[in-house]
Amino acid sequence: MTRKRVNTRFLAGFLAACGIGALLAACESTSTSSVPLGTVGHVTGFIGDVAGDEPQAVEVARQVLSAGGTATDAAVALDFTLAVTLPSRASLASGGVCLVYDHASQKTEVLDFTPKASATGAGSGNAPLAVPGNPKAMFALHSKHGRLMWEQLLAPAERLARDGAPISKTLGRDLDLAAGLLAKDPEAVRTFGRKGGGFLHEGDTLVQADLGVLIGRLRTTGPGDLYDGMLAPAVARRFSEAGQVSGSTISADDLRDYQPDWKDPVAVAFGDDSLNFAPSPASAGPLAAEMWTMLAADNRYRDAKGSTRLHLFGEVSMRAFADRSDWVQPNGDSKLAVNDIVADARLKDLMSSYSEAEHTPSSSLTPPPTAPLENPAATSFVVVDNEGSAVTCGLTMNNLFGLGRVARGTGIVAAAAPVKGSGVSALVPMLVVDKDGALIFAAGASGGTAAPAALITVALESMVVGRPLPIAISIKRVLHTGLPDVLVYEKGLAPETINELTGRKYKLFGLESLGLVNVVWCSKGLPKDSASCHAATDPRGSGGAYGSES
């Protein structure tokens, strides 16, 4: 297991947050550790695991765990850092969904802050302005499960925004892809542009002074000012200016009325383990639960070999997406109760037409599939602490850089709300616990329609097939969404495998990658056996992971 060097600038931020009067007392530890709670190095030995799509944010979360923070503390710090280092996918205006497991109570909950348009000013554009949900959601999460001070957790993000953060490979690529969109907004050009023209590249330093000031205010006063205090009217005006591109606005009432929701997860049994997913409107949760149940039933996936396993996965994913078209509503909510979606009789009926010999034409399915509309611009992360608690989240702007507009004076990239009929299937966190309450598996995925398939592939290859995590996360993936009637595969499959799939009457289409997954797998359960825990970030991306495999 490798250990990374402590970032002294981060430590200075921690000490600054804990160095004022009563706040210092709050950071004192009753632990036997010689390093106070709230200071990097407080936890010795196994500190927990973390994985995400942006390495700087992962490092911040790692140091929070080292300082004695819970998985929630580390998730909050990671989330706010992403708003600085990956605002293309997770600005402070983004929405999302988190699965939260508290080992002390052995309870799994869902925090739903999926993006929502204004109640009155959604406009008629293709990408309505989203009401910022992230700060209020993270405050709700911290209030319920945090240990370290809120001020302490936001200090690293504030510093990175004020002093500058290196552009990562992921953000650099996103800036290249969205350059045309960003060039239309003077504030975006001022924030992300280079002197002399064009936009920042990988390795350049991104300074976001306005964002640093706002995070500093959120750090010292909490999110109340932003939502129902002195800042709310001005923030609403600035976001409405940004929303003019889509003819949409938000009001101070929208900010005041916005509330994240605590919900029960979608839970399915696997032996003595409980698999948990997010419910609708994050419709990839029930979809992933369907896929898992059909694939794991009667050891179908485990016993399939070679191209038959890929064929099985393609047929199951096609049926799950076709079935989703029957129960999902335009806003992502479900027409059916969750238990009905994953009921054995329903899934058995879906698989009744499966043939191991050949592909079933999607047009023959009932109901016939519809083309899913999902924007792949999202991100995920997972954090596990040494006590066996975990948080895994998916965040989205519903487009790279959302509306492509920076709300003047705030530094926040405005997010888009989902367009009608799209749902938010890019968000698909997953948590698995055993009958004793030990954490087995925590993961998140992004990539639009590919996200649930990528997640379930890694979960099956690790927990069911038993492959080591580096292999499970690297293995080639396939996906069939029903419409068009094409099996999409990752390039690099063996020619004989492609020939066998063609022989099963598939139309094939190759892509470089299908989805990005971040995962922590504790095969013997945490906290029972921390040595069995391994963290990994998808090699298809450029994220970071800290754990026994990093």
| 55-93 core/surface letters (b: 16 or more CB in 10 A; e: else) | bbbbbbbbbbbbbbbbbbbbbbbbbbbbbbbbbbbbbbb
Residue 147, judged by CB atoms within 10 A of its CB (0-12, 13-18, 19+), counts as middle
Rounded CA separation 24/37 (Å) = 10
% the chain with pLDDT above 90: 75
Could you tell me the two tokens for 57? 């944010």
Rounded CA separation 292/281 (Å) = 19
Is 7 a residue whose pLDDT tops 70?
A: no
pLDDT tens digits, 209-224: 999 999 999 999 999 9
pLDDT tens digits, 521-541: 999 999 999 999 999 999 999
| Higher per-residue pLDDT: 80 or 422 | 80
- What is the predicted pLDDT for the residue at 73? 98
Is 244 a residue whose pLDDT tops 90?
A: no
Contact 477, 457 (CB under 8 A): yes
| Higher per-residue pLDDT: 225 or 184 | 184
Could you tell me the two tokens for 379? 């991100």
> Could you say which DSSP state residue 90 is in?
H
Lowest-pLDDT range of 366-375, 401-410, 512-521 = 366-375
Query: Where is mean pLDDT largest: 19-28, 86-95, 362-371?
Result: 86-95
Mean pLDDT, residues 285-296 taken together: 95
Q: Is 476 helix (H, G, I), strand (E, B) or coil?
A: coil
Side chain identity at residue 343, one-letter code: A
Residue 221, judged by CB atoms within 10 A of its CB (0-12, 13-18, 19+), counts as middle
Place 369 in a pLDDT band, splitting at 50, 70 and 90: confident
State the average pLDDT for the chain. Answer: 89
Pairing, β 487-490 against β 508-511: parallel
Is 157 a residue whose pLDDT tops 70?
A: yes
- What is the predicted pLDDT for the residue at 373? 66
Half-sphere exposure of 383 (CA within 13 A, CB side): 29
- What is the predicted pLDDT for the residue at 497? 97
Cα Rg of the chain (Å, integer): 22
- What is the predicted pLDDT for the residue at 127? 73
Query: Could you tell me which of 314, 221, 316, 356 has the C-alpha nearest to residue 506?
Result: 314
- Give the Å distances, CA to CA, from 430 to 167, 168, 275, 454: 29, 26, 7, 12
pTM: 0.92
Query: 443 pairs with which residues across the strands?
Result: 430, 519
| Higher per-residue pLDDT: 325 or 422 | 325
Lowest-pLDDT range of 158-162, 240-244, 428-432 = 240-244
Place 25 in a pLDDT band, splitting at 50, 70 and 90: very low
Side chain identity at residue 448, one-letter code: G
| Higher per-residue pLDDT: 5 or 466 | 466
Place 8 in a pLDDT band, splitting at 50, 70 and 90: very low
Is 370 a residue whose pLDDT tops 90?
A: no
Place 550 in a pLDDT band, splitting at 50, 70 and 90: very low
Contact 210, 239 (CB under 8 A): no
pLDDT tens digits, 14-23: 434 433 223 3
Query: 382 pairs with which residues across the strands?
Result: 51, 392
Is 142 a residue whose pLDDT tops 90?
A: yes
- What is the predicted pLDDT for the residue at 122? 57
- Give the Å distances, CA to CA, from 497 to 179, 478, 508, 520: 39, 12, 12, 30
Within 207-272, strands assigned E span 261-263, 266-270
> Could you say which DSSP state residue 130 is in?
B
Lowest-pLDDT range of 9-18, 278-287, 313-322, 452-461 = 9-18
Lowest-pLDDT range of 89-93, 117-121, 182-186, 388-392 = 117-121
Place 547 in a pLDDT band, splitting at 50, 70 and 90: confident
Residue with tokens 């507009």: 405
